[in-house]
């Protein structure tokens, strides 16, 4: 119906390699971009500031992580620590007088270098052991941040972000901060879609599927794994800086704790490993579903139909969050991306139930 | 009983109805307080009872007809101690018209402080939060309004001085390894120079379920007094491990976060342990009696009846009593209550003691701590018994530390 | 010297108490190959269960077996409803499922039973055992003894007929099927046993700190114990526990006042990292050989 395929012929390899081969997809992407770019005009500041903005930033974070976990198959349970490095580095660099644009890049590089050290463990172990090793590194980074006053900012451990501007656009209005975050997230999205088609992306996939086999066909596992950690940590570091400057505007170590790492992994898994649209959907779902579901149940409780205590009500988001992770893993391990894909395929061949065969 | 329970749940739910976020018309006569606290993560030990006291007091004020026709509504939400969710909850409560916020969480307060100041909304940080926020010239919209951690430490030290002298004595401060645990450091440093005592800090890893190495070291330090500076389950472990290391309960002096629940965890051995208190505990206070009569007895309480009158409950009641008093003063002369009017009301509070529940506080434009008075009380096996009078200890020294620290803010 | 000795003993005993938490992890990993990151939350749930049964007015010696039965059933249910459906899925899915379970339990149990710390009184004397200048904490001592007894029982259990089946299952699922062993039942039983181990851990840790969600934070030291001892080695838990406890007590005992912060978590993290880098399968674990 919506996805009219008639008249769409790919007459060259070039045309066949396009990102969006179906016109509807193309239009959809354009429409979403326009909607996203003009969001500050029609979304109330409440929704923009507390739902849309964090969603965009966490999507960027999920994209960074899914490059590592989805494409390269390297598990990482300490990604929040990488973001923390980016956030703290960017604040200290801008405070030292370096222009914001450059300090963003530098903080990404610092996070990438330290993140690649995390990757060192991946050269030796995989699977469960890699989970544990990255988890231990998360604790180490947390400890260093908390215990070195030079990093954390002393007794109260709160560092405020200085007022900055990005390419002459001062970041003091919500809209400006939103646009910067959106720009970064879109940039990551475009990068991600293209990296899948590059030789680097294919090397990552080869490593994910079987690193010994990849070595046999000439992909250097050592280099590729380190590159994967480096790239993903760079993306994560800049996202952490964006998170600090565009959303929190003050950083404390708690913002990047172990639970945040878990939340990121949950976003990636709920969305669907290695999927672009999955990262966006997963970030939105993990971030917003517990909030909205809790609101619905509180509303029901308010009417008096569902007798629950305050204590239960306040533990509800945690329960929903846990149940959601379990539910997705049991019912749709391929995540929201797969659900989207099923719906799209349904419309692709509608009114028929199956394509061709 | 069952019916009564249903009833309070419904009432409670009504209070939390605002969580829904359906932006209704804002009634001028409805003053909204955002109690966006951490019910599920780090501060669970206190939030439930503290918040219960806050909600019950606001209900009492409404039952008694409000303040000049204004009624009070609590917007209660869980932030899980996560800045992310704190910001979301803050923005939503702000949209719903809340003008006063209590986060009861250091990281969440930190993430919102700037935003709230520029929105001109009042943030209260009673008995917690950064000490230097007492400087109203630097933090115009933040009100610690009760003794900060620095005033608490000073009060405990003064009590030690009165009971056994300080010169040449040794104090061991055993604290959780977090910014909160390190909070008393500067004031103890200043005090030790003035009073010529020696002190040493012994950190233990958060959340403090195992502290044996710290206490082995404390025992060998042979302290005359011990201060414990933690919160939650770690406090009970501190008291237990201290006693197991031969430290007498009488030597132990705790920060405000040591309550009836911890005593139940430690057992009868806790008799003799002292803590700082900013509000009296127990039921024998006019306000608590009235809550009991008009809110609890008709089944309108917001939580377990057993908690009414305990330390954290009364602390919650006192915080709201001060806030309501500020609203009353702010509304004098017919001003509509918004963040600015409320701030002005706070700064007009003089000699208010919540009918004897707390020491009299006087808040001025410069001093948002309200004097920082408190007292020391001792666990007698069943309840907290005060062993000193309400007073502020070393006010000048505390003020000096506050101003010095506040001057670094934003730099 | 007495200071060192005291740190050594209290560290070893604390480590054995960590081993109690770790034992459940190993029991499950050994038979099912599932890393159960919800073991900390299981200990918390068990602590609440003991408290709940005791609040009905039952004495400790009755409450613990009843809670044990409840948690055995709970373990069976978790395995049947959740983990059995994950057979054959990649490790990340399984890890995340157990983490989801840990988050769910951390919300559900305190949400229903209350989040303020609950006391468990095991009737253990407060006064320490004093030998010279060395103080020994009785709770830790009994905890350490309980851990040794439980590990001993687990080892003995693996010599029984049922235990032999479990060992067969841990060796190879498919061949066990082939010789007529019910792999599902064996895995279910190991989950139930992990629940029982959690009850002992929950009761002892709960008596020293009170029962609240922070019990689930015991997962971290327990993970260090299993990594060091070997994820599939039951006796490794004892030595791993003692080492993690001793290093995590002795090093902070000398370093903390110098570093100005608690170094225990750093020590624990470094134990995990170094073990994985040097000998990933731990001291007593079985080295897996990967085939292409």
Domain B2-147+281-356 top-level CATH class: alpha beta
Q: For residues B160 and A257, give the distance between their C-alpha atoms in angstroms, rounded to a whole number.
A: 38
Count of CB atoms within 10 A of residue A169's CB?
14
DSSP per residue over B76-91, as a string?
A: EEE-TT-HHHHHHHHH
Query: What is the residue extent of each domain of chain B?
Result: 2-147+281-356, 149-277+375-395
Fold annotation for A38-349: ABC transporter involved in vitamin B12 uptake, BtuC (1.10.3470)
Contact A128 C95 (CB under 8 A): yes
SS3 C137: coil
Pseudo-torsion of CA B17, B20, B26, B28, nearest 10°? Answer: 30
Contact B186 A160 (CB under 8 A): no
- In this structure, what CATH number is given to the domain that contains residue C137? 1.10.3470
To which H or E segment does residue A318 belong? helix A310-331
Q: In the prediction, which pLDDT does A71 show?
A: 92
Provide Rg for chain B, Cα atoms. 21
Burial pattern C273-289, b for ≥16 Cβ within 10 A else e, equals bebbeeebbbbbbeeee
Q: Which candidate from B177, B265, B269 shows the least CB-CB separation from C262?
A: B177
pLDDT for A315-339, tens place per residue?
A: 888 899 999 999 999 999 899 999 9
| Phi, psi dihedrals of residue A316, rounded to the nearest 5° | -60, -45
CA atoms within 13 A on the CB side of B4: 11
Instruction: Give, for all 411 residues of chain B, the pLDDT tens digit.
Output: 344 444 444 444 444 433 333 333 334 468 999 999 988 777 777 888 899 999 999 999 999 988 878 899 998 888 888 887 888 889 889 888 899 999 988 778 878 888 888 899 999 998 887 778 888 888 899 999 899 999 999 999 999 999 988 989 999 999 988 878 888 888 999 999 999 999 999 988 888 888 888 898 899 899 999 999 988 888 999 999 999 888 999 999 999 999 898 898 888 889 999 999 999 999 999 999 999 999 999 888 888 888 899 999 999 999 999 999 999 998 887 778 888 999 999 999 999 999 999 999 999 998 999 888 999 999 999 999 999 999 999 999 999 888 888 887 755
ipTM of the complex: 0.90
Kindly identify which residue of chain B lies nearest to residue C4, measuring between CA atoms: B216
Residues 13-42 in B contacting C (C-alpha not used; CB under 8 Å): 39-40
**B207 prior amide bond cis, ω within 30:** yes
Best C30, C32, C92, C213 member to test A by mutation, with max A CBs in 10 Å, is C92
Question: Count of domains in chain C?
Answer: 1
Residue B50 distance to chain A (closest CA, Å): 12
Residues 295-334 in A contacting B (C-alpha not used; CB under 8 Å): 295, 298-299, 301-304, 307-311, 313-315, 317-318
Best C117, C134, C140 member to test B by mutation, with max B CBs in 10 Å, is C117
Residue B127 distance to chain C (closest CA, Å): 19
Q: In the prediction, which pLDDT does B252 show?
A: 95
Q: In the prediction, which pLDDT does B6 show?
A: 41
Question: Is the torsion defined by CA of A207, A209, A211, A212 positive or negative?
Answer: negative
DSSP per residue over A105-154, as a string?
A: HHHHHHHHHHHHHHHHHHTT--THHHHHHHHHHHHHHHHHHHH-HHHHTS
**Nearest C-alpha neighbor of C92 from the set A127, A94, A124:** A127
Q: Which candidate from B39, B216, B267 shows the least CB-CB separation from C6?
A: B216
Check if C7 contacts B (Cβ < 8 Å): yes
Q: How far is CA A120 from CA A126, A261, A332, C40, in A?
A: 11, 19, 32, 28
The sheet carrying B98-102 orders its strands as B71-78, B30-37, B98-102, B122-124, B142-143
Q: For residues A322 and A318, give the distance between their C-alpha atoms in angstroms, rounded to a whole number.
A: 6
Contact C116 B44 (CB under 8 A): yes
Instruction: Read off the pTM.
Output: 0.89
Contact A324 C100 (CB under 8 A): yes
Q: For residues A74 and A93, give the distance between their C-alpha atoms in angstroms, rounded to a whole number.
A: 30
Q: For residues C258 and A273, give the distance between their C-alpha atoms in angstroms, rounded to a whole number.
A: 45
Q: Which candidate from A45, A249, A302 shows the least CB-CB separation from B16?
A: A302
Counts for chain B of helices (H) and strands (E), in that order: 14, 12
Residues 252-281 in C contacting B (C-alpha not used; CB under 8 Å): 252-253, 256-257, 260-262, 264-265
* Burial class (CB within 10 angstroms; exposed 0-12, middle 13-18, buried 19+) of B49: buried
Q: How far is CA C282 from CA B176, B232, B300, C228, in A?
A: 32, 35, 58, 5
**Tally of residues, chain C:** 292
Domains B2-147+281-356 and B149-277+375-395 in one fold: yes
Contact A140 C85 (CB under 8 A): no
Q: For residues C229 and C284, give the distance between their C-alpha atoms in angstroms, rounded to a whole number.
A: 6
Structural domain contains residue C207? yes
- Residue A42 CB partners (closer than 8 Å, separation 6+): none
Best A132, A147, A253, A321 member to test C by mutation, with max C CBs in 10 Å, is A132
Q: How far is CA A219 from CA A76, A124, A199, A208, C148, in A?
A: 22, 17, 10, 12, 49
CA atoms within 13 A on the CB side of B258: 32
Check if B348 contacts C (Cβ < 8 Å): no
Check if C107 contacts B (Cβ < 8 Å): yes
Say if CB A219 and CB A284 are below 8 A apart. no
SS3 B284: coil
**Tally of residues, chain A:** 357
**C285 prior amide bond cis, ω within 30:** no
Q: For residues B216 and B207, give the distance between their C-alpha atoms in angstroms, rounded to a whole number.
A: 18
- Residue A5 CB partners (closer than 8 Å, separation 6+): A22, A348
Q: How far is CA B334 from CA A169, B67, B330, in A?
A: 43, 12, 9
Check if B189 contacts C (Cβ < 8 Å): no
How wide is the angle at C-alpha B257 spanned by C-alphas B254 and B258, nearest 5°? 65
Q: For residues B27 and A346, give the distance between their C-alpha atoms in angstroms, rounded to a whole number.
A: 50
Structural domain contains residue C291? no
Q: For residues B318 and B286, give the distance between their C-alpha atoms in angstroms, rounded to a whole number.
A: 12
Kindly identify which residue of chain A lies nearest to residue B52, measuring between CA atoms: A310
Q: For residues B103 and B144, give the distance between their C-alpha atoms in angstroms, rounded to a whole number.
A: 12
Question: Is the torsion defined by CA of C55, C56, C58, C63 positive or negative?
Answer: negative
Q: In the prediction, which pLDDT does B111 show?
A: 80
Q: For residues A21 and A31, give the distance between their C-alpha atoms in angstroms, rounded to a whole number.
A: 16
Contact B9 A308 (CB under 8 A): yes
To which H or E segment does residue A224 belong? helix A221-242
Residue A129 distance to chain B (closest CA, Å): 25
Residue B10 distance to chain A (closest CA, Å): 5
**Tally of residues, chain B:** 411
And the tokens for C107?
């919300």
Say if CB B278 and CB B146 are below 8 A apart. yes
Torsion region of A247: left, alpha or beta (phi above 0 gives left; psi -120 to 50 gives alpha): alpha
Say if CB A290 and CB A347 are below 8 A apart. no
Residue A294 distance to chain C (closest CA, Å): 13
Structural domain contains residue C283? no
Q: For residues A165 and A173, give the distance between their C-alpha atoms in angstroms, rounded to a whole number.
A: 11
And the tokens for C130?
């004093």
Residues 236-295 in B contacting C (C-alpha not used; CB under 8 Å): 236-237, 240-241, 243-246, 261-262, 264-265, 267, 269
Q: In the prediction, which pLDDT does A356 show?
A: 58
And the tokens for A17?
């390699």
Say if CB C9 and CB C65 are below 8 A apart. no
Check if A43 contacts B (Cβ < 8 Å): no
Q: In the prediction, which pLDDT does B27 show?
A: 42
What is the architecture, at CATH level 2, of domain B149-277+375-395?
3-Layer(aba) Sandwich (3.40)
* Burial class (CB within 10 angstroms; exposed 0-12, middle 13-18, buried 19+) of B389: exposed
Check if C14 contacts B (Cβ < 8 Å): yes
Contact B9 A301 (CB under 8 A): yes
**Could you say which residues of chain C have pLDDT below 70?**
289-292
Structural domain contains residue C95? yes
Instruction: Give, for all 357 residues of chain A, the pLDDT tens digit.
Output: 667 777 777 788 888 778 887 888 888 999 999 999 999 999 988 889 889 999 999 999 999 999 999 999 999 999 999 999 999 999 999 999 999 999 999 999 999 999 998 788 778 888 889 999 999 989 999 888 888 888 877 656 677 888 888 888 888 889 999 999 999 999 999 999 999 889 999 999 999 988 888 989 999 988 999 999 999 999 999 999 999 999 988 888 888 888 899 999 999 999 999 899 999 999 999 999 888 887 888 778 777 666 777 788 888 888 999 999 999 999 998 999 999 998 888 888 877 777 654
Contact A125 C276 (CB under 8 A): yes
**Nearest C-alpha neighbor of B30 from the set B81, B69, B83, B4:** B69
Q: In the prediction, which pLDDT does A246 show?
A: 92
Query: What is the residue extent of each domain of chain A?
Result: 38-349
């Amino acid at each position: 119906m919506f996805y009219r395929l008639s008249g769409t012929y790919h007459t060259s390899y070039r045309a066949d390699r396009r990102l969006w081969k179906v016109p509807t997809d193309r239009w959809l992407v354009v429409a979403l971009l326009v909607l996203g770019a003009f969001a500050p005009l029609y979304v109330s500041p409440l929704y923009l500031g507390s739902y849309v903005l964090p969603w965009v930033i966490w999507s960027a974070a999920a994209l960074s992580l899914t490059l590592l976990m989805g494409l390269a198959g390297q598990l990482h349970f300490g990604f929040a620590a990488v973001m923390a490095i980016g956030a703290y580095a960017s604040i200290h660099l801008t405070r030292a007088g370096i222009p914001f644009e450059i300090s963003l890049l530098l903080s990404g590089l610092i996070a990438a270098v330290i993140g690649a050290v995390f990757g060192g463990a991946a050269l030796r172990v995989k699977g469960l052991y890699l989970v544990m090793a990255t988890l231990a590194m998360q604790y180490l980074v947390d400890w260093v941040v908390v215990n070195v006053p030079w990093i954390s900012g002393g007794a109260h451990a709160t560092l405020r972000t200085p007022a900055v501007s990005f390419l002459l656009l001062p970041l003091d209005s919500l809209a400006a901060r939103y646009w910067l975050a959106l720009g970064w997230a879109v940039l990551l999205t475009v990068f991600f879609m293209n990296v899948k088609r590059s030789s680097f992306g294919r090397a990552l996939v080869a490593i994910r599927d079987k690193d010994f086999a990849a070595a046999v066909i000439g992909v250097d596992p050592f280099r590729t794994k380190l590159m994967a950690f480096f790239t993903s940590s760079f993306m994560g570091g800049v996202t952490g800086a964006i998170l600090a400057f565009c959303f929190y505007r003050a950083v404390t170590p708690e913002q990047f704790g172990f639970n945040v790492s878990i939340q990121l992994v949950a976003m990636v898994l709920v969305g669907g490993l290695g999927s672009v649209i999955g990262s966006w959907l997963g970030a939105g779902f993990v971030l917003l579903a517990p909030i909205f579901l809790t609101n619905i149940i509180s509303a029901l409780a308010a009417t008096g139909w569902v007798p629950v205590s305050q204590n239960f009500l306040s533990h509800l988001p945690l329960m929903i969050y846990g149940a959601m992770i379990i539910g997705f893993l049991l019912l749709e391990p391929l995540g929201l991306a797969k659900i989207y894909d099923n719906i799209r395929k349904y419309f692709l061949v509608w009114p028929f139930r199956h394509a061709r065969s | 009983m069952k019916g009564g329970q249903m009833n309070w749940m419904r009432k409670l739910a009504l209070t939390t109805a605002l969580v829904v976020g359906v932006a209704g018309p804002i009634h001028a006569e409805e003053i909204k307080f955002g109690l966006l606290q951490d019910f599920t993560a780090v501060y669970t030990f206190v939030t439930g009872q503290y918040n219960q006291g806050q909600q019950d007091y606001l209900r009492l004020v409404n039952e008694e007809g409000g303040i000049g026709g204004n009624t009070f509504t609590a917007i209660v939400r869980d932030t899980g101690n996560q800045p992310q969710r704190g910001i979301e909850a803050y923005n939503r409560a702000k949209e719903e018209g809340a003008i006063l916020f209590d986060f009861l969480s250091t990281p969440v307060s930190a993430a919102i402080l700037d935003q709230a100041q520029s929105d001109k909304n009042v943030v209260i940080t009673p008995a917690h939060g950064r000490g230097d926020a007492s400087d109203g010239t630097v933090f115009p919209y933040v009100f610690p309004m009760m003794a900060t951690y620095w005033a608490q430490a000073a009060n405990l030290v003064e009590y030690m001085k009165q009971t056994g002298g300080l010169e040449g004595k040794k104090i061991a401060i055993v604290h959780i390894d977090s910014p909160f645990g390190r909070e008393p450091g500067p004031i103890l440093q200043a005090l030790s120079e003035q009073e010529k005592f020696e002190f040493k800090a012994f950190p233990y890893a958060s959340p403090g379920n195992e502290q044996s190495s710290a206490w082995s070291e404390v025992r060998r330090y042979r302290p005359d007094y011990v201060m414990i500076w933690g919160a939650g389950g770690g406090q009970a472990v501190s008291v237990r491990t201290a006693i197991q290391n031969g430290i007498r309960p009488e030597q132990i002096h705790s920060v405000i976060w040591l309550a009836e629940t911890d005593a139940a965890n430690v057992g009868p051995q806790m008799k003799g342990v002292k803590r700082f208190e900013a509000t009296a505990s127990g039921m024998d206070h006019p306000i608590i009696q009235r809550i009991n009569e008009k809110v609890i007895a008709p089944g309108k309480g917001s939580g377990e009846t057993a908690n009414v009158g305990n330390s954290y409950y009364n602390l919650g009641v006192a915080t709201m009593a001060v806030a309501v008093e500020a609203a009353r003063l702010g509304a004098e002369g017919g001003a509509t209550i918004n963040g600015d009017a409320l701030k002005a009301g706070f700064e007009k509070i003089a000699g208010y003691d919540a009918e004897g529940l707390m020491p009299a506080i006087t808040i001025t434009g410069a001093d948002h701590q309200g004097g920082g008075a408190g007292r020391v009380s001792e666990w007698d096996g069943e309840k907290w018994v005060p062993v000193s009078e309400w007073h502020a200890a070393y006010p000048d020294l505390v003020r000096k530390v506050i101003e010095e620290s506040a001057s670094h803010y934003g730099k | 010297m007495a200071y060192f000795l005291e740190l050594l003993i209290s560290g070893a005993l604390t480590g054995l108490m960590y081993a109690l938490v770790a034992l459940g992890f190993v029991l499950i990993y050994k038979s099912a190959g599932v890393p159960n990151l919800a073991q900390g939350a299981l200990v918390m749930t068990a602590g609440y269960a003991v408290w709940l049964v005791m609040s009905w007015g039952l004495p400790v010696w009755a409450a613990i077996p009843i809670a044990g039965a409840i948690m055995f059933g709970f373990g069976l249910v978790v395995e049947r409803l959740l983990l059995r459906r994950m057979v054959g899925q990649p490790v990340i899915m399984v890890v995340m499922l157990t983490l989801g379970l840990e988050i769910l339990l951390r919300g559900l149990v305190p949400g229903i039973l209350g989040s303020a710390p609950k006391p468990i009184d095991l009737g253990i004397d407060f006064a320490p055992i004093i030998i010279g200048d060395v103080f020994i904490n009785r709770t830790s001592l009994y905890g350490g003894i309980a851990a040794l007894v439980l590990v001993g029982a687990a080892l003995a259990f693996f010599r029984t007929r049922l235990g032999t089946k479990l060992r067969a299952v841990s060796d190879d699922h498919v061949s066990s099927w082939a010789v007529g062993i019910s792999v599902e039942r064996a895995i279910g039983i190991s989950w139930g046993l992990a629940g029982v181990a959690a009850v002992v851990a929950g009761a002892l840790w709960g008596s020293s700190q009170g029962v609240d969600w922070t019990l689930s934070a015991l997962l971290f030291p327990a993970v260090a114990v299993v990594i060091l001892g070997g994820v599939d080695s039951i006796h490794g838990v004892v030595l791993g526990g003692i080492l993690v406890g001793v290093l995590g007590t002795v090093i902070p005992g000398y370093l903390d006042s110098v570093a100005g912060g608690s170094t225990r978590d750093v020590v624990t993290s470094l134990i995990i990292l170094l073990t994985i880098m040097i000998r990933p399968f731990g001291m007593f674990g079985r080295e897996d050989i990967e085939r292409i």
